[in-house]
Amino acid sequence: MSSEIINDKERTNNIRMIKLIAVIFMSLLISGMKAENASEKTWIIVIDAGHGGKDPGAVGKISREKNINLAIALKTGEYLEQNVENVSVLYTRKTDEFMELRDRPEFANKNNADLFISIHSNWISKSTIKGSETWIMGPAQNDQNLEVAMKENEVILLEDDFSTKYEGFDPKSPESYIMFTVMQNTFRQQSTLLASTIQSQLKNRAGRIDRGVKQAGFWVLYMTTMPSVLVETGFITNPDEEKYLVSKEGQDYIASAIYRAIRDYINEIDKKTNISTSKEKEQVSTPDSSVSDRVPVVDELRYMIQIATSAVKKSLTPDNFKGFKDVVELSSQNLFRYATGSFSSYQQAAEYRNKIEAIYPDAFVIAVKNNKIVPLQDALNSK
């Protein structure tokens, strides 16, 4: 009897031990899986519904801009959360509340957002005009563009003590907008890519008239420290478009178009990042990158690291580029691009980019031939 009890006890102990081992094994497995997931980037997307509360935004015959913006913003976020795995969506407002203009970009900066998307609806005196446009930060190239930015910045006037809060910036004075002509928009290229993806989705998915990607001095885009766009979904001054903008169907289509564009943008950038990581893993036997073959740009294909863009020409002194001495200028589409390093292989360029990431977090590898930027994918395929 006693030996049976001992056997039973032993058996119980053995079972406990097996269970314990199983638990330890499972938890190791799970922690391993977690570590793997953690390496996949989570994209923090801030969606900003323009206006709100005492600021109605543009006022149409049957609608107020603030309500349209909020409905589309919430729906866009919902689509993103439902359909894209690695996103975290944050909203500057989720209800009909007033928010100071400067708090919107600050919210995105504070949360280390990867993208900032401000959603608006347009106003113009001519009721025949309709269509969608997406804006990026930059100096306005004509009076109409300046007017759109002025209109969207005007809300500042509803705030107390706006002159102090906005460093003397007066949304109604054209002189105030001169500061935007000298600024450097580090995220111009990414913002343009996102903006043009949104425009093509709005056109193809939602059947909107494509009024293009435009630039002007919007305060919300000026203050953000990540790729940022402002979408003017349509004109509430056009009776047909206003009807579309207030309808559930119209809001669904517009939100769906914006969501798809963000999804495609994320995939595009993730794909580029994956190219660099997978190549780096293969890199075990290649020599130290410090003996990289840095030579001036010649007519053969080279990989360089773009560190800055500017609408105005800059002199190539190290002071202008955080001490970098080998900066070259490449111009394309009214824009001066500045790049450093020059490598014959993508791998070396990617490694160098990682090295300077702390100094230029937004730097990325570009392919250059005959002093012209060529599509990276084409360059990689050509080898």
Nearer to Zn ion, 236 or 366 (CB): 236
Nearer to Zn ion, 56 or 239 (CB): 56
Shortest distance in whole angstroms from residue 256 CB to Zn ion: 21
Query: Mask 147-186, x = binds Zn ion (CB under 5 A)?
Result: -----x----------------------------------
Q: If you write DSSP's letter for every residue of 146-186 in order, what string do you get?
A: HHHHHHHHGGGGGSTTHHHHTTT--TT-GGGGGHHHH---T
Tokens of 218: 């919007």
Q: Which of 48, 50, 101, 327 binds Zn ion (CB under 5 A)?
A: 50
Shortest distance in whole angstroms from residue 66 CB to Zn ion: 8
Q: Which of 43, 45, 57, 350 binds Zn ion (CB under 5 A)?
A: 57
Distance CA(211)–CA(308), nearest Å, equals: 28
Nearer to Zn ion, 67 or 199 (CB): 67
Are residues 46 and 91 in contact, defined by beta-carbon separation less than 8 angstroms? yes
Q: What stretch of H or E contains 303?
A: strand 302-310
Q: Does 341 bind Zn ion (CB under 5 A)?
A: no
Shortest distance in whole angstroms from residue 254 CB to Zn ion: 14
Are residues 245 and 207 in contact, defined by beta-carbon separation less than 8 angstroms? no
Shortest distance in whole angstroms from residue 151 CB to Zn ion: 7
For residue 7, the tally of other CB atoms under 10 A from its CB is 10
Q: What stretch of H or E contains 105?
A: helix 103-110
Q: Which of 75, 93, 120, 337 binds Zn ion (CB under 5 A)?
A: 120
Shortest distance in whole angstroms from residue 59 CB to Zn ion: 11
Contacts of 200 (CB under 8 A, 6+ apart): 210, 261
Nearer to Zn ion, 57 or 227 (CB): 57
Binding site for Zn ion (CB under 5 A): 50, 57, 120, 152
